[in-house]
Amino acid sequence: MTPDPPHSDAPHSTAPHPAVPGAEATTVPRPFGRALCAMVTPFTAAGELDLAGARALAALLVAEGCDGLVLSGTTGESATTTDAEKTALVRAVCAEVGDRAAVLAGVGSADTRHTLALAREAERAGAHGLLVVAPYYSRPPQRDVEAHFLRIADASGVPLMLYDIPARTGTRIEPGTLLRLAAHPRVVAVKDCAYDLFSSSKVIARTSLAYYSGCEELNLPLYAVGGAGFVSTVANAALRPLRAVLDAYDTGARAESLRLHQAALPLVESMMGAGLPGTVTAKALLGALGRPAGPVREPLRPAGRETADGLLRAYAELTAAARAV
């Protein structure tokens, strides 16, 4: 296997794919790097916010080659953490990683005023960017979705990554809406969980938006059509193998990239397709590996021993496959 290249994709950069023999090099916007982790929020055994654990996990992920940490997203249990906890988490992680990685704060809510307040607090706490999900539950029409994002972008001093995950929000960020929002200088990226590669490809072709895969099984397909990289739950435990897929692709080793992508699928399925939320499986695997995680908060319940053992087996198989020549 081709060794990992130096960790050179700095946050807030636009990096070209390296030249591949017989192919013309392309420039892909990567405002937050390529390999981003949707980081879990560590809790103590008593269920309190574990800032020391968060700092330790963030440092470990960055040391493994993580370009960006996305806090207080779906995996970060944003639905059950308080505003004060979200702000404290951003402050602690920013203090830990400094300028070695981008730190994005999830600030999305169903209420525009609340989202604005969270965005201001995250920016004051040091966040390099904001993850803003489409307003959920009320299922606003597209003109209102667009207005919501523009309100946040106008009020922000840092760039936005829009989070398109209609299976959870009930509201798609339609391609036409994304085309219009791309004109705003602070709307720079999309975390794509819409499972619509055709629409994503069209928006990538017509804008400078950086598209990050939020669905690990689509990391390589989206990257191949001009995606910027990924924002991954699985990366909490398996950042290196997922990043290796992109590294191989960028050096022109397309067959190796495909092999590594396929090798990751069993762990992806175990974590994301086993009928349990990714937060639950990520924390189960991290705990089994002795990394900071702690319990999940109710209404989520911890994974059982059988699930944890299965995750460990899939992780071991991926680790072995990633080392194979």
Torsion sign over Cα 78, 222, 159, 237: positive
Residues 6+ apart with CB under 8 A from 67: 7, 9, 11, 32, 33, 34, 35, 36, 101, 102, 229
β-pair partners for 211: 190
Q: What are phi and psi of 280, to 5 degrees?
A: -65, -50
191 catalytic? Reply is yes
CA dist., res. 311 & res. 284, Å (int): 8
Residues 6+ apart with CB under 8 A from 179: 203, 206, 207
Q: Which of 86, 136, 137, 191 is the catalytic position?
A: 191
Q: Residue-wise over 101-126: b if at least 16 C-beta within 10 A, else e?
A: bbbbbbbbbbebeebbebbebbbebb
Q: Which of 86, 136, 163, 211 is the catalytic position?
A: 163
223 catalytic? Reply is no
Catalytic (active-site) positions? 163, 191
